[in-house]
Amino acid sequence: MGNISYTAHVSNKKSAITSKSKLAGVAKHNLRKYKSSDYSKDNIFIVYGTSNLIDDVKTVYHKEFDEALEEYNKKQTRPDRRIEDYFEHVADKEQDMAVEIIIQIGDREFWKQYDDMKSYIKLSYEIILGEFIKRLPGFVVANAVVHLDEDSPHMHIVGVPVADGYKKGLSKQVSKRKVFTKEVLSRVLQDELREVANKEVNDWFGEQIKAKSKGRNNDLSVTEYKVAQESRKLEEIQQQNNEEQAKNTRLRSSNASISYQIATQEKKHDRNIDMIAADEDRLERVRDNIDAAENEYAKYADMITDKKNKLEMLTSKENELVERTKIAENVYDMFRHGGDDDVREKLIDVMYENQRLQEENKSLKELLEKAYDFMKQFVIDGVNLLEKFMESVGKVMERLSPKIK
């Protein structure tokens, strides 16, 4: 045998159908008589009976018990002992008025692999239902539905266990105990139907059903089955929740890291802005200094140029007077011991003028030196004002040289 699971669950204890309200609850679930995002009417298939499960059960009651009920009532001499409706009579007695069997092939993990083949298993469940009806005639099936909208496709069978040969009461009665004996549960539900299911699984999927294990194989109640199903769902939801929590933890950690990086970058950005602002302030002060230096340069450049021109003119005159003085001295020597008084007076005037020009030239040189020292204090583009001025003067002299010559 293989690894594919096969289970058959019989309603029992809390899941037992012992009243009309419980029968209505089964009908509501099996036929999806309610709205839910977890299930879909499009994926349930009625393979036996109608869309009204309660009427289907009542039909079985009439078919199986009306004749026995009529015989019983004829024998009753007291009207209060007669039974008007056997269905209502059983429902009021809190006994199993119907039985539900759930047959499932394959678990959730198996159907994850063959999700696109779920629709085919419906045909297999119809075959299993036919074999079940033949092998257990005492259980009269009223309704059967295949669910393909849950994790694992399965079939809900609802019917009435019918037994006869009674001496007391109706000759034919509802009796789960007589129909679902341990021998029937083991032989029919666990052995024979397992073989039918195994053939279907092998035909469709090329796999095998698990062999029947020792212990509990047949008496798990529908309630226990549904609890197990819900437990698996809860486990899956819990696992998903744990994964989401882990994901959220990673995201929070990542967000914290990103937030820290953003905060760090913002601090760096703020520091850079402060540094830029400080640099701009320093640059503005430098610009102000440059503007002041340029103004001073313009003011003193004009003055120095004028003084330099005047100095050059005086120097020229001085040179001229020096020559004249030399000549005058020579002439004076010639006429010192004699000569014209008028000539001597003119020589004296020339010598006096020469002395005056020398003193004025000296004063202008001192003033020019002070201007040079002042200009050295200012630097523009790495060059002080004096160097820049001398460069400008040099260019002017180059232009004037041809004219002077």
10-residue averages of pLDDT along the chain (405 residues): 85 92 93 73 89 96 96 92 95 94 91 86 94 96 92 93 94 95 93 92 87 56 47 53 69 71 77 74 72 68 71 72 69 60 69 76 76 70 69 66 58
332-to-13, 103, 337, 343, 356 alpha-carbon distances in Å: 160, 155, 9, 8, 19
* Continuous H helices in 76-211: 86-91, 108-113, 118-135, 176-179, 182-184, 193-205
The pLDDT value given to residue 219: 40
Print the SS3 string covering 102-133.
EEEECCHHHHHHCHHHHHHHHHHHHHHHHHHH
> How far is the C-alpha of 149 from the C-alpha of 40, rounded, in Å?
6
> How far is the C-alpha of 151 from the C-alpha of 167, rounded, in Å?
47
The pLDDT value given to residue 231: 45
> How far is the C-alpha of 348 from the C-alpha of 121, rounded, in Å?
146
The pLDDT value given to residue 218: 42
Neighbours of 200 (CB within 10 A): 19
For the chain, the first-to-last Cα distance in angstroms comes to: 128
Structure token digits, residue 50: 């109608």
| Residues 6+ positions from 315 with CB-CB distance below 8 Å | 361
The pLDDT value given to residue 306: 74
Q: Count of residues for the chain?
A: 405
> How far is the C-alpha of 59 from the C-alpha of 367, rounded, in Å?
137
The pLDDT value given to residue 334: 61
304-to-215, 365, 395 alpha-carbon distances in Å: 123, 11, 15
Q: How many helices (H) and strands (E) does the chain have?
A: 11, 8
Give the class (CATH, top level) of 6-220: alpha beta
The pLDDT value given to residue 138: 96
Closest CA to 97 of 149, 167, 162: 162
> How far is the C-alpha of 101 from the C-alpha of 128, rounded, in Å?
12
Closest CA to 298 of 223, 239, 359, 378: 378
Which bin fits 94, alpha (ψ -120 to 50), beta or left (φ > 0)?
A: left
Q: 126 — phi, psi (to 5°)?
A: -65, -40
> How far is the C-alpha of 194 from the C-alpha of 135, rounded, in Å?
13
The pLDDT value given to residue 360: 77
> How far is the C-alpha of 107 from the C-alpha of 218, rounded, in Å?
17
CA 398 to chain centre: 77
Q: 363 — phi, psi (to 5°)?
A: -65, -40
Burial class (CB in 10 A: 0-12, 13-18, 19+), 42: exposed
